[in-house]
């Protein structure tokens, strides 16, 4: 499984430039992994992971298949979107379908690029979108609670749980806090997720800075970093223009360009990794002569659940997982060396997969 991140932002903040860079990068990777542009505003990009290349080299794998991440370029938002202004309804519907929000904020000064509010203030921009999402959630909650009245009178337990959770979200929102600030018990986690409230989505702030500030950031991005830390959200600093230029260069040229800009890697790589951390995702690998492949799972995933990411039958018929830690696989020269050194473990149904594990599943058909 990969995950879906929606790119949002006010007009003229660099959102489309960033998305174009992502989709060009994805198109360039098409020879290395299955790629398709599902719609004009949806694209998939490989998740960068140097470990996969090392494993493939050791195992002499013919094919390398990275795990993938989907980006959705969500229609530009304006104040009043919660009431249907601009493309408000489409914007809100698209956000419900993503796992996380990458909120692009303008952190650059440029007199040639107008700002919808006539000023450069990324913190105020973030507040504009958060406010619209909160207003949309409040309206949705009020309607849904009204529709639950009849079931509540009949002591429907599911309706009681739903109403209790909606009430908690409503209280937070009326207090000026997004629904993600509500503490939810484990027994309510599934029902809470099922509410699909917009402000429960984790947020990654993308500070779009000028080209000469891409390595260091600026006063605007510093304010965003402070805001993100206070909220418990994440942030990355990127120059969308640089990313667009890099996406059109060959690998050697791109590396030289990055070096000249004082950057160690493309900002898109940092964006993807930050998204993974935000959603508490990790990677395990399957490795052999045919292919080396990365798979995305959530932290805390059991071995049978991890097997199910490959195929449902693997989870149903799970017997055990032959497991080698990434460091052991590399240090001992592959599967055979790990076996001989006693570093291959047979793990059962209760095993929680760790980031970097190299796994081979045994299952009943």
Bind-site residues for ATP: 12-17
DSSP assignment of 17-72: HHHHHHHHHHHHTTTTS-----BTTEEEEEPP-HHHHHHHHHHT-SEEE--EEEEE
Other CB atoms closer than 10 Å to residue 353's CB: what's the count? 26
Question: Pick from 133, 187, 134: which is nearest to 165 by CA?
Answer: 187
Half-sphere exposure at residue 301, Cβ-oriented, CA atoms within 13 angstroms = 23
CA dist., res. 244 & res. 94, Å (int): 24
CA dist., res. 329 & res. 336, Å (int): 9
Contact 22, 43 (CB under 8 A): yes
Strand locations in the chain (E): 3-8, 42-46, 63-65, 68-73, 100-106, 203-208, 234-238, 281-287, 291-298, 318-324, 345-347, 358-363
Residues at the binding site are: 12-17
Q: At which residue do the structure tokens 């109403």 appear?
A: 163
């Amino acid at each position: 499984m990969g995950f879906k991140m929606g790119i949002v932002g006010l007009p003229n903040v660099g959102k489309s430039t960033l998305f174009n860079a992502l989709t060009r990068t994805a198109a360039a990777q098409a020879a290395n992994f299955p790629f398709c542009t599902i719609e004009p505003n949806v694209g998939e990009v490989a998740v960068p992971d140097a470990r996969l290349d090392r494993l493939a080299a050791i195992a002499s794998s013919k094919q390398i298949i990275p795990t993938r991440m989907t980006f959705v370029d969500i229609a530009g938002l304006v104040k009043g979107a919660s009431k249907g202004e601009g493309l408000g309804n489409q914007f809100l519907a698209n956000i419900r379908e993503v796992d996380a929000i990458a909120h692009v904020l303008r952190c650059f000064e440029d007199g040639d690029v107008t700002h919808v509010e006539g000023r450069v203030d990324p913190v105020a921009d973030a507040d504009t979108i958060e406010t619209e999402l909160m207003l949309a959630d409040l309206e949705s909650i009020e309607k849904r609670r009204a529709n639950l009245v009849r079931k509540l009178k009949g002591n429907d337990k599911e309706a009681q749980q739903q109403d209790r959770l909606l009430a908690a979200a409503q209280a937070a929102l009326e207090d000026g806090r997004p629904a993600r600030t509500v503490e939810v018990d484990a027994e309510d986690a599934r029902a809470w997720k099922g509410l699909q409230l917009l402000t429960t989505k984790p947020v990654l702030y993308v500070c779009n800075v000028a080209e000469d500030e891409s390595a260091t950031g600026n006063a605007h991005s510093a304010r965003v970093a402070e805001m993100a830390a206070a909220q418990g959200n994440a942030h990355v600093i990127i120059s969308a223009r640089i990313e667009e230029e890099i996406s059109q260069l060959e690998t050697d040229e791109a590396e030289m360009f990055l070096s000249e800009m004082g950057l160690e890697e493309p900002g898109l790589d940092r964006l993807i990794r930050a998204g993974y951390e935000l959603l508490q995702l990790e990677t395990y690998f399957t490795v052999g002569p045919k292919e080396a492949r990365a798979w995305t799972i959530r932290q805390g995933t059991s071995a049978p659940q991890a097997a199910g990411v490959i195929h449902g039958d693997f989870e149903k018929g799970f017997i055990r997982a032959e497991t080698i830690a990434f460091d052991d696989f590399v240090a001992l020269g592959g599967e055979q060396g790990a076996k001989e050194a006693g570093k291959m473990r047979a793990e059962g149904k209760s095993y929680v997969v760790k980031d970097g594990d190299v796994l081979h599943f045994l299952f009943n058909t």
